[in-house]
Amino acid sequence: MASSPLGRPTRGTTGTNRLRRNDRWIAASPAFRRAEDPLVIDLGYGASGVTAFELATRLQRVRADAEVRGLEIDPERVATANQQLAEVQAARTPFSPDLRVSFARGGFEVPLPAERRPAVIRAMNVLRQYDEGDVASAWRTMATRLSADGLLIEGTCDEIGRVSSWVDVDPTGTPLRFTISLRLADLEHPSIVAERLPKALIHRNVPGERIHSLLVDLDREWDRAASLSTFGATQRFLASVAALRDQGWPVRGGKSRWRLGELTLPWDAVAPLP
């Protein structure tokens, strides 16, 4: 008899385009673009399979051979997603009937047929109900399923996808990078992301911790750049991130990513103190 999936059922909240910022990150990642087998796992997709369809749509614009497999612990959610897939394949939805998407039951063990190894595992809003002490083990369990150059992306976003953050983890379970991704229009302060930090960081946003220092400094530079609002929120954010970099924060990427409301740093720059 097959063993039970590893993990707990997610809350199941799923919204159209909720994960668009994360989709964009995956589509640009070398782990996906250079993969011999461009298989991407949407782990814990929730009550609807829409995030898997959206992800596949965006990935296939980059690689026509991209494939997405949605995994859920709850068998009823898998059944619902497969019903939705049948509608997609019958050309009764806005999605292409040729999308390479499938759904199955699974958790952190990431079961796959024929010993396939995914290029990317996406686990957004999956670890929110776990304890901080469970995170590293969950990362390692999922990461062992990756291809040699694969990437695990684990994080959190708000219900409509305007505020997101995530951690990139390598196949050994080692965290590499931390990214904030914000909708800049109508943004009051970048520190709004504090409400949507990954589980490994959300309880560390207190004085003395690196993530707290980052958000304090980012808010300060955002306020200092207020005069640039005349030219739009994007210019204000560009100036804020450039100022952070000039202060010594090891900001990664360049203006092409910053314009998207993204800020990426090495994990060590924000990692919890021992």
Match 């999936």 to its residue by tokens. Answer: 5
25 three-class SS = helix
Report the alpha-carbon distance of residue 157 to residue 198 in Å, rounded: 9
Each residue of 80-93: pLDDT tens digit? 999 999 999 999 99
Could you tell me the pLDDT band of residue 11, with boundaries at 50, 70 and 90?
A: low
Rg of the chain (C-alpha set): 19
Report the alpha-carbon distance of residue 90 to residue 212 in Å, rounded: 49
Report the alpha-carbon distance of residue 219 to residue 212 in Å, rounded: 11
CATH of domain 20-182: 3.40.50.150
Averaged pLDDT of the chain: 95
Q: Which helix (H) or strand (E) holds 210?
A: helix 210-224
What percentage of the chain reaches a pLDDT higher than 90? Answer: 92
Q: Which pLDDT does position 86 carry in this prediction?
A: 98
Q: Which pLDDT does position 1 carry in this prediction?
A: 36
Token representation of residue 208:
């003395």
Q: Which pLDDT does position 113 carry in this prediction?
A: 85
**139 contacts: CB under 8 Å, gap ≥ 6:** 152, 154, 169, 173, 175
Report the alpha-carbon distance of residue 132 to residue 209 in Å, rounded: 15
Residue 2 has pLDDT above 80, yes or no: no
Determine the average pLDDT of the residues in 112-117. 89
Q: Where is average pLDDT lowest: 7-11, 51-55, 175-179?
A: 7-11
SS (H, E, C) 104-165: EECCCCCCCHHHCCCCEEEEECCCCCCCHHHHHHHHHHHHCCCCCCCEEEEEEECCCCCEEE
**138 contacts: CB under 8 Å, gap ≥ 6:** 7, 108, 127, 130, 154
Own/partner pairs, 170-176, CB within 8 angstroms, 24+ separation: 170/143, 170/146, 171/143, 171/144, 171/146, 171/147, 172/140, 172/143, 173/136, 173/139, 173/140, 173/143, 173/144, 175/139, 175/200, 175/267, 175/271, 176/266, 176/267
Q: Which helix (H) or strand (E) holds 245?
A: helix 233-247
Could you tell me the pLDDT band of residue 13, with boundaries at 50, 70 and 90?
A: low
Token representation of residue 254:
């360049």
Determine the average pLDDT of the residues in 158-184. 98
Q: Which pLDDT does position 135 carry in this prediction?
A: 97
Q: What is the pTM of this model?
A: 0.93
Q: Residue ranges of the domains in the chain?
A: 20-182, 190-268
Q: Where is average pLDDT lowest: 10-19, 138-147, 160-169?
A: 10-19
Q: Which pLDDT does position 20 carry in this prediction?
A: 97
Q: Which pLDDT does position 16 carry in this prediction?
A: 78
Each residue of 197-255: pLDDT tens digit? 999 999 999 999 999 999 999 999 999 999 999 999 999 999 999 999 999 999 999 99
Could you tell me the pLDDT band of residue 14, with boundaries at 50, 70 and 90?
A: low
